[in-house]
Structure 1
């Protein structure tokens, strides 16, 4: 999907099927995430009490770090393109030049037969200028390893999508790099770089939140393990009392999971960046980050669900033990 300049959006997102994200409460879509047998395992007393791996959150953090690196690469590329264009000479636009309205695709013929070529067959000065603009864009933005593969756009298509179709139109209409077109290209390229910088900052916030959530989840899981280990260390005449205490404390851990899910839901409702895209405006930032991944669209909620289900399984096991001992 191409995203144009201005206030409507700040970055491009590759075309792909978007997962529905109408999540009205903290547990609305978690059942699908944690119904596989290998995800939920009941506690086996007397056996090994396993740590949860928290793979959803860790994979999400890795995905965010990779995307942040690519966003910063794009920022640097647009800054470099702006610097290259700023150094180029401009051409004088004839007063009778065609008004704006030439399709951006007209640039595709620059340098080819019948367009921008002198009667003798050599390129005109304006054609050379246009070649230099497109070459600069190709050497900077389109040189990024991921850019062509993800967006599958020519230099002119990408330039029009990123910097506005009117900027590409002006180049085609003016027959070269006029002072107005140069100013627009430089200004919009720097704005595209600034937008990427803001996006990288928002991704940094998400990375920090993922780290905090993992720390909290790990703390809950460690307490769960200590409670279960305590069950195995009590004397036979104290087993029932210990089991009741553990059962109640596991209930407290489950409530902490509920609170953690509610906190994350509030974060989803107030993302650090809200690009003006039409599909599901309340979730676009997280859809942008996690939609392309193989993991769940809401990795923190999925991870909380996994831990909460483990705790519930533990409580069921403790409850059965109380019933047997009682």
Structure 2
């Protein structure tokens, strides 16, 4: 589980402007129909229809993959805690820290160029220590994505995940003390709980993606219905119907604006607020964590809404061109 770098740009769907001094539908339609590039925009509408919510669906797939990985990590840490809890402890004749980790084990671990790590130094041949490291390799480090994604040794991984004071217990002189075992088990269960909370947050995002896709599908169905109705009327007739379609398409465009505003509010209130990622995105690290690794926009829902709104604008231009031709 890590945060990945990515863009921090946010797309906001602009509101449709009205030509200054125009007060009639005919004036608006005339301005649109005579704009350069109307034919190109109409051609683009067909291309946009083929993309069919790809951004949202790719985002949902990415979230489901990440949720599965997070749950695998949660289960691995729970298994590691269960296995360590079953390991017999030995008495260690040394002072202990308030956390129960032997004081002698706190020297040197993780220091640049020095210190002992699990598997070397006095006491490294202890059966209990070997069992701890074997349990860690068999659970956490056995995950398919773990070694390739984090590129850490077992000692580095255990220190990063469970804390240096818990890791230093593995180099205690006499073996694994009861205090050290308690610390390892406690930290492992905390790591599992953290991943459980993250999985729940990803679940919330998956639900929201489904809701946004359903809303956009509703907008798109109504758009297609309106255009299908208009296509059934022969050119030169049904000008009033065309104007009605033009106005209702404008309502759909405003609905896209509202959906974009709702999503902006969701982005400002994420289901989980982790520490800022390495890209410095301190405002929305949760969404950077989910979507920066994906080959697509950093904010897929906003990008999808923008795409649908662009299609509606192109449709309105086509309808306006037809109305102008029928006049």
TM-score over 0.5 for the alignment?
yes
Deviation readout 1:171-225 (Å, 9 max, x if unpaired): 3245531111111110110111111111111111111111111111011011111
SS where residue 98 of structure 1 aligns? Answer: helix
Distance 1:217 1:154 in 2: 46
Aligned to 2:299: 298
Q: Does 1:100 align with 2:87?
A: no
1:281 to partner: Cα distance: 2.7
Q: TM-score, normalised by structure 1?
A: 0.81
Aligned residue number for residue 13 of structure 1: 2
1:209 partnered with 2:208: yes
* Equivalence for 1:140: 139
Change (3 A) 1:204 1:249: same
Partner of 1:312: 313
Change (3 A) 1:231 1:110: closer
Question: SS where residue 192 of structure 1 aligns?
Answer: helix
Contact kept, 8 Å, 1:84 with 1:136, in 2: the verdict is yes
Secondary structure in 2 matching 1:92 = coil
Q: 8 Å contact 2:260–2:305 — kept in the other structure?
A: yes
1:259 Cα deviation (Å)? 0.3
RMSD of Structure 2 on Structure 1 (CA)? 2.4
Q: Give the Å deviation of 1:169.
A: 2.0
1:77 and 2:76 correspond: yes
Structure 1: 5+ residue stretches without partners: 1-11, 29-40, 118-122
Q: Distance in 2 between the 1:131 and 1:167 partners?
A: 16
Does the Cα contact within 8 Å between 2:85 and 2:181 map onto a contact in 1?
yes
- 8 Å contact from structure 1 (residues 160, 168) kept in 2: yes
**TM-score, length-scaled by structure 2:** 0.81
Offset, 1:27? 4.0
C-alpha displacement at 1:233, in angstroms?
1.4
Query: The residue matched to 2:160 in structure 1 has which SS?
Result: helix
The alpha-carbon distance between structure 1 residues 169 and 110, as it changes in their structure 2 partners (threshold 3 A), is closer
Q: 1:262 to 1:283 in 2, by over 3 A?
A: same
Structure 2 unmatched runs, 5+: 15-39, 96-102
Match of 1:34 in 2: none
How far apart, in 2, do the equivalents of 1:306 and 1:207 lie?
A: 20
Taking the aligned partners of 1:130 and 1:265, their CA distance within structure 2 comes to 50
Contact 1:82 1:189 in 2 (8 A): yes
Alignment of 1:1-326 (within 5 A): 12-13=1-2, 16=4, 18-21=5-8, 23=10, 26-27=12-13, 42-43=41-42, 50=49, 52-95=51-94, 98=104, 100-104=106-110, 109-112=117-120, 115-116=121-122, 124=125, 127-173=126-172, 175-236=174-235, 238-277=237-276, 279-326=280-327
How many matched pairs? Answer: 289
| Contact 2:249-2:316 at 8 Å conserved across structures | yes
SS at match of 2:89: coil
Q: What CA distance in whole angstroms lies between the structure 2 residues aligned with 1:246 and 1:275?
A: 46
CA contact (8 A) 1:57 1:300 kept: yes
Given the superposition, is the C-alpha separation of residues 48 and 305 from structure 1 closer, same or farther in structure 2, using an over 3 Å criterion?
closer
* Aligned-partner SS, 2:106: coil
Verify the 8 A CA contact 1:108 1:156 in the aligned structure 2.
no
Task: Answer yes or no: is the 8 Å Cα contact 1:57–1:210 preserved in 2.
Answer: yes
Q: Which residue of structure 1 aligns with residue 36 of structure 2? A: none
